[in-house]
Structure 1
Amino acid sequence: MSLLEVTDLKVSFNTADGVVRAVRGMSFTVDRGRTLGIVGESGSGKSVSTQTLMGLTPGARVEGRALFDGEDLLTVGEKRMRTIRGAQIAMIFQDPLSSLHPLYKVGWQIEEMVRQHEPGAGKEQARKRAVEMLGLVGIPQPERRVDDYPHQFSGGMRQRAMIAMALALNPKLIIADEPTTALDATVQAQILDLMQRLQREFDTALIMITHDLGVIADMADDVLVMYGGKPVEFAGRRDLYYRQHHPYTKGLLQSVPSATGAKGRLRPIPGQPPSLINLPSGCVFHPRCEYVMERCRVDEPPLAPVPSGLGEEGREHVSACWLPHEAVGLGADAERVRRRAAGLDAGGTDDVDGGSR
């Protein structure tokens, strides 16, 4: 049994303009000691989905199931959730300055969390734990810096302090929501190396939410790609980077320099992400897809297995796209793939470039 099993999660919000369908049927699992990367453009539902698991989306209409160690996070009461949040599931946010209280010392905030979840821990024991954790994440002179305020820390130091707070109670799962976005490249690399090292030491499961596909390439075991509030592809890291099936995944990989390895201009995905109030019919990505067919405009594709063979044995690879499985990797040009798909849809021969196989 996986540590976390999320099944058909749906999250929506009532607004003056209509119902925002922020998450529209999200399913995934996270095993102990493994890292799940969740990627996608802003507004794709990445953060809302994980915040809902933590009980941080008040006013939302939530459906589905999220079993954490056999307990459904979506149905537990607020009192029970307070005992889970921080102690068993910790969260690292993008901006630590807004997550740390500016009027309280950093060490005191770690001590308070320890004492809240471990009633038997005294003040001296909690302070010792705070100093130990600050030292563990690489903050120099932790005995002195434990009494500093958040504004006295640099951005990288504040993020290290947040990691120290997240690990203070040895949680089973850490959710990191864009933890390095505001940091420069050198500090970002240090923070990611630190998180990987501590994850191995504590055998903690990790959900990494990010726009940075380079971060995912370094850290993730499995990758979930989201678009328009829904997962569009899920695969092991190696399969996703070398044999991606969904055109949106291909677009994400081509829009960053490190993914293409080629000189010249980047290839951005044309158009804009869809409104979560007025979603397109059929496949929500079809207005921006170079491989679009008539079927894409009418029918929404389900997540279906894709043959891969590059990842770990038994790792799942699914994609929500009407393209044939032979288009894995999308090495062919768009017109050739469309002709191939049209031939399969019509039940005809495997016609490629006018010939048959």
Structure 2
Amino acid sequence: MSLLEVKDLTVGFPTADGLVRAVRGLSFSVEPGRTLAIVGESGSGKTVSTQAILGLLPEADISGTALFEGMDLLTMDEERLRRIRGSAISVIFQDPLTSLHPLYKVGWQIAELIRVHDANVSRAEARRRAVELLGLVGIPRPDRRVDDYPHQFSGGMRQRAMIAMALALNPRLVVADEPTTALDATVQAQILDLITRLQREFDIALLLITHDLGVVAGVADEVMVMYAGLPVERAGRRTIYYRPHHPYTKGLLESIPGSTGVRKGRLRPIPGQPPSMIAVPPGCAFHPRCRYAMPVCAAELPPLARVTGDGDHASACWLPHEAVGLGEEAEAARLRAARAQDQASGEVA
């Protein structure tokens, strides 16, 4: 049984210009002890979907179901949901400087989190636990740094403190929302190594949100690629990297330096911009930016369907299933399919 199972999640924001359809029907599941990475450009609906699940968007119009251990988080009352947040489900936010209160010591904030969820824990016990957690995440001299303020920590140390806070109550699911975006490359690698080590050590399910497929290379078990509020491809990590089917996934891979999809060391950016979520294009939302776009792409929304022969590999694209991978054969198959569709449409017209 899945630890978290989300079905047909939709999230909208009423505005003066119209309804912003941030998430348009998202379904996924997270298994205990496994890592699911949600990848996509800014505005694809990654963060909004997880915030909606956790009840952090009170002004949004939300529908669907989000079953956590059989309980629907979307229909749960606020008091019960507050008990689950921070204990059974915890979050590592993108910017730790805005997540940690600047006027309180780091150790006090961790200890207070523990005492809020367990009134039987004394202040001294909570402080000892805070010191233990800071040491666990690799902060040197934790017995002294526990009394430092957030501004006295470096960016990497603040993110380590956020990880310590996320693990304080032994959660079963951790949502890591762009946890390394504000960090340099060296610290980024250290934080990712720390998250994966602790996840395996404590057998935690991890939901990792990122815009960079390169970040999840050695972290994720499964990858779900989102575009314009919908999942466009989902598969195991190796399948996504070596046998992508959707052109958007291929484009993300070709924009990574050193990717297997980059020829002769040159990057190939995805042309254009993501669509407005107030006026999403008909059919496949990616078709205005897709070099393989066919007439059917602008007319009909492709379902997220299984790619033949690849187990759990699913893609929302009208390209034939043999157009899989990053090599020249897959490229030729994509172009042949697009040309054949164009010719067929011309003959019908």
TM-score (normalizing by structure 1) = 0.93
- Describe the superposition over 1:270-304 as per-residue Cα deviations: whole angstroms up to 9, x where unpaired: 00000000110111001001111111111111111
Shift of 1:265: 2.8
Shift of 1:256: 1.1
Question: After superposition, where does 1:1-357 map in structure 2 within 5 Å?
Answer: 1-259=1-259, 260=261, 262-309=263-310, 315-329=311-325, 331-333=330-332, 334-339=334-339
- Alpha-carbon spacing, 1:343–1:32, altered in 2? closer, same or farther (3 Å): farther
For 1:327, what is the secondary structure of its paired residue? Answer: coil
**Partners in 2 of 1:189 and 1:325 — Cα distance?**
35
Q: Which moved more, 1:126-135 or 1:322-331?
A: 322-331
Check conservation: 1:37, 1:216, Cα contact below 8 A: yes
Provide the aligned C-alpha RMSD in A.
1.6
Shift of 1:242: 1.1
Check conservation: 1:239, 1:308, Cα contact below 8 A: no
Structure 1 residue runs without a partner (length 5+): 310-314, 347-357
Check conservation: 2:2, 2:29, Cα contact below 8 A: yes
Shift of 1:345: 9.8
**Partners in 2 of 1:201 and 1:288 — Cα distance?**
42
**Partners in 2 of 1:62 and 1:296 — Cα distance?**
28
For 2:258, what is the secondary structure of its paired residue? Answer: helix
The alignment of Structure 1 onto Structure 2 pairs a total of residues equal to 341
Aligned to 1:350: none
Shift of 1:337: 2.7
**Partners in 2 of 1:29 and 1:103 — Cα distance?**
38
**Partners in 1 of 2:35 and 2:340 — Cα distance?**
36
Structure 2 residue runs without a partner (length 5+): none
Shift of 1:104: 0.3
Check conservation: 1:94, 1:181, Cα contact below 8 A: yes
- Alpha-carbon spacing, 1:189–1:325, altered in 2? closer, same or farther (3 Å): same
Amino acid at match of 1:55: G
Shift of 1:308: 4.3
TM-score (normalizing by structure 2) = 0.95
- Percent identity over the alignment? 68
**Partners in 1 of 2:120 and 2:20 — Cα distance?**
44
Shift of 1:261: 5.4
